[in-house]
Amino acid sequence: MTKSLALLATVALAALTGGMAHAEDIRIKLSTLVDKSAPARITNIEAAAEIMNHQFKAAGVDKHIVIESNASAAKGWDDLALENMKAFSVGQGPDLYILPHEWIGKFAEDGNAMAMDAKIASTPWAYGDILPVLWTAAKATDGKIYGIPQDAEIRMFFYNKDMLRKIGKDEAFIESLPAKVESGEFTLDDLTALAKQVVDGKAAQYGMLHRPNVGIDYLMVFQSYGVKFIDEKTGKLIFPKAEMTKALAWYERNARQGVTPVDNTAMSWDTIQNAFKQDKAFLFHQGVWAVAWQLGDKNGATWPTDKDGYFHKIGWIPAPAAEKGGKPANLSHPLLYTVNPKSKYADIAADLIALATLPYFNTEHAVSSYHTAITNGQTAMPKYKENWVLSAASPMMVHAQFVPNQTQFGSYNKVLFNGLQAVETGKMTAKQAVEFIADELGLQFGKDVDIRETASN
């Protein structure tokens, strides 16, 4: 049949059935966040629905899936999680929703997230190739998996190689840094010393800049120092003083030595990003998506857009180990597709997720939104391989760690950031900040947080 005849047949069929509903419209309510940079969170589920609709038609099943998406204008993923909690409390929760992974334990505890272990085991064609480390982020304290990784990202330190050349470092030294970090030969203190050389050598105004507000980028430094935020057996938040003191002392040294400006946390995002892009800062640590504004004519400067040109200028490393021979640390913050177990269509929602997780669909999302692959297979797909930024970032997932799957961690982290800010501005020493944080956590959380001398006790 020619395309014209096929179109006429379709039009004729539509005319005959106009105004008639399917025997059963299966309406799946999907909840996510408004994000113009990541439309595939919705369109991938819609595409999965179309596949299932074709399967229904081929099997002679008179059913039709309709995706009713609600893209919330909430300020962030935490606010969206709270919106969904309210909806569930009055029996109006979505059938399928996207959660930041740290909320999965709470939704599972409340009975609003379906355990996916059986689905995962019975659907190897969709889930058998997911990066094993990502399942860690989807587990509640009972050890069960309650969500499917929808995407992933990785955080890193960006460093300016041109500045190292200006202070006389040769190419062998410059290009060896990632390997030295991987082996534990190059530590956080070595990074501080190198940044100080860059500043003292007048190659940069700032040695290192980081985010000015509460987030998770800086937590990978704490993890390098052995900080643990949660007791995996009990699910209880912990605050280990000894490791925290060492981590905050690193930020304290950076500020006292002129590596990090004392007003870093008072800067705007534009000021920080512009400083790195305009060759005023040697180090900046955030995530892979930052490459989007680093490339081309953005933020007041022009940088190469090709792989070779970019990596000639900029290098990436995870947070180096705290001590020689230690392991570097890295952070990822996956979002999860989650199913409402009380939904009439819970099984269909789970099947939609399986299809949307396939490498083709997830790659469409990854390359359009600067997110790293969730499966090994994606890294071999032409469209993903062509994106040299993501291809270079994927191997860094080997060191990925995650913030705790604990809903109180957001409030805990705000107190931690206040301590970090006090240390950098010189209002407190690292030891004083640790005592301040411990007192604040005790007041806010009481017995919900275990304040320890060390992570191991």
Range of the domain at 25: 15-146+334-371
> How far from chain centre, in Å, is Cα 81?
16
Q: What is the pLDDT of residues 75-128, one digit of tens each?
A: 889 999 999 999 999 999 999 999 999 999 999 999 999 999 999 999 999 999
Asked if 54 contacts 64 with a C-beta cutoff of 8 angstroms, the reply is: no
What pTM did the predictor assign?
0.88
Assess whether 126 and 51 both reside in one domain: yes
**To 10 degrees, what angle do helices 430-445 and 241-256 make?**
130
Residue 89: phi and psi, rounded to 5, are -65, -20
As a whole number, mean pLDDT of residues 389-400 equals 94
Neighbours of 213 (CB within 10 A): 11
Assess whether 104 and 159 both reside in one domain: no
Q: Which amino acid is at 175?
A: E
pLDDT at 421 over 70: yes
- Strand pairing category for 400-401 and 330-331: parallel
Long-range contacts of 343-346 (CB under 8 A, 24+ apart): 343/93, 343/95, 343/96, 344/95, 345/26, 345/28, 345/95, 346/95, 346/114
As a whole number, mean pLDDT of residues 370-398 equals 95
Residue 407 Ramachandran class (φ > 0 left, ψ -120 to 50 alpha, else beta): alpha
Confidence of residue 457 (pLDDT cuts 50, 70, 90): confident
Q: Residues near 78 by Cβ (< 8 Å), separated by ≥ 6?
A: 100, 103, 410
CATH code (residue 415): 3.40.190.10
As a whole number, mean pLDDT of residues 326-351 equals 96
> E-assigned strands of 11-58?
24-33
| DSSP classification of residue 318 | -
| Structural domain includes residue 295 | yes
Q: Which two tokens stand for residue 288?
A: 């892979």
| Structural domain includes residue 411 | yes
pLDDT for residue 22: 54
Nearest Cα to 455, choosing from 253, 216, 187, 223? 223
pLDDT for residue 454: 95
Assess whether 211 and 248 both reside in one domain: yes
| Structural domain includes residue 353 | yes
The number of residues in the chain equals: 457
Nearest Cα to 446, choosing from 237, 140, 287? 237
Assess whether 187 and 225 both reside in one domain: yes
Q: Which two tokens stand for residue 124?
A: 């190897």
Concatenating the DSSP letter of every residue in 6-19 gives HHHHHHHHHHHHTT
pLDDT for residue 210: 97
Nearest Cα to 230, choosing from 444, 401, 85? 401
Q: What is the pLDDT of residues 22-35, one digit of tens each?
A: 578 999 999 999 99
| Structural domain includes residue 397 | no
Assess whether 338 and 410 both reside in one domain: no
Nearest Cα to 402, choosing from 225, 148, 220? 220
Asked if 319 contacts 329 with a C-beta cutoff of 8 angstroms, the reply is: yes
Query: Which of 348, 371, 394 corresponds to the end of one domain?
Result: 371
Angle at 183 between CA 177 and CA 186, to 5 degrees: 45
For 40, 43, 113, 331, the CA distances from 155, given in Å and listed in that order, are: 22, 26, 28, 6
Asked if 24 contacts 89 with a C-beta cutoff of 8 angstroms, the reply is: no
pLDDT for residue 18: 40
Q: Residues near 165 by Cβ (< 8 Å), separated by ≥ 6?
A: 174
Average pLDDT, the chain: 93
Whole-angstrom Cα distance, residue 169 to residue 7?
66
Whole-angstrom Cα distance, residue 367 to residue 338?
22
Assess whether 245 and 176 both reside in one domain: yes
| Structural domain includes residue 396 | no
Q: What is the pLDDT of residues 162-184, one digit of tens each?
A: 999 999 999 999 999 999 999 99
pLDDT for residue 233: 83
| Structural domain includes residue 211 | yes
| Structural domain includes residue 280 | yes
* Number of domains observed in the structure of the chain: 2
| Structural domain includes residue 387 | no
